[in-house]
Amino acid sequence: MNIGKYTFDEFKEVVRKFHGYVAPGIIIGGYMVEKAKSALPEGVIFDAAVETVWCLPDAIQLLTPCTIGNGWMKIFDFGKFALSLYDKTDGKGFRAHLDISKLDSRPAIKTWFLKLKPRSEQDTGKILEEIRLAADSICTVNRIVIRPEYLARREKNSISICKLCGEAFPSYHGDICPACKGQSPYVINEQ
């Protein structure tokens, strides 16, 4: 079973080049994306939502036009291995998730997913082979409707110049940029 336009082995190579290694989560995510995408009506223009920061955003970016940068993908850090593809206008779509109830016959995937053994004790080759054999059969898809408040398009609005640092930033933050308000994750070292 293909993952998008790729064979299993081709997709593994695409993942390796993009992600740095062949992550089982992106491979499974590829099957999830394809299962949700195939449930959408033909020709629908869709957005994506992902419920984890791990692996699934990369699967969406590799297999759909939805990216973090273009704003067509929203990331909710719920820690759930699930993604949704939905019509941009009415929010009707499909949510795919890795279904725990379907993993009993896939012990390597189950051990990997539930972290039943340290990563160093897991056999990545066996995990990937189980994923190849399972394809999308370990995923469940449900109909969903995105709440209207999440359908709003992000706006860049006007730009202001921070009164403290002199850098440009979106005006909706006020007169001082978030970094100068103490929200920066780092301290600038001007050496």
pLDDT digit string (tens) for 33-63? 999 999 999 999 999 999 999 999 999 999 9
In contact, 49 and 150? CB cutoff 8 Å: yes
> Which has the minimum average pLDDT: 62-66, 139-143, 148-152?
148-152
Please give the single-letter amino acid code of residue 156.
K
Nearest to 63 by CA among 19, 16, 26: 26
In contact, 29 and 59? CB cutoff 8 Å: yes
> Does CATH number 2.40.30.10 belong to domain 156-191?
no
Q: Between 8-19 and 24-39, two packed helices, what is the crossing angle to 10 degrees?
A: 120
Query: Residue 140 pairs with which residues in a beta bridge?
Result: 97
Output the pLDDT for position 154.
65
Output the pLDDT for position 156.
66
The pLDDT mean for the chain works out to: 95
All CATH 3.30.60.80 domain ranges of the chain, comma separated, are 156-191
Output the pLDDT for position 187.
80
If one counts every other C-beta atom within 10 angstroms of the C-beta of residue 138, the result is 24
All CATH 3.30.1330.130 domain ranges of the chain, comma separated, are 8-150
pTM (two decimals) = 0.88
Q: What angle do CA 172, 178, 179 make, to 5 degrees?
A: 150
Output the pLDDT for position 157.
77
Average pLDDT score over residue span 61-78: 96
Output the pLDDT for position 184.
87
CATH number of 8-150: 3.30.1330.130
Alpha-carbon span 119 to 123, nearest angstrom: 8
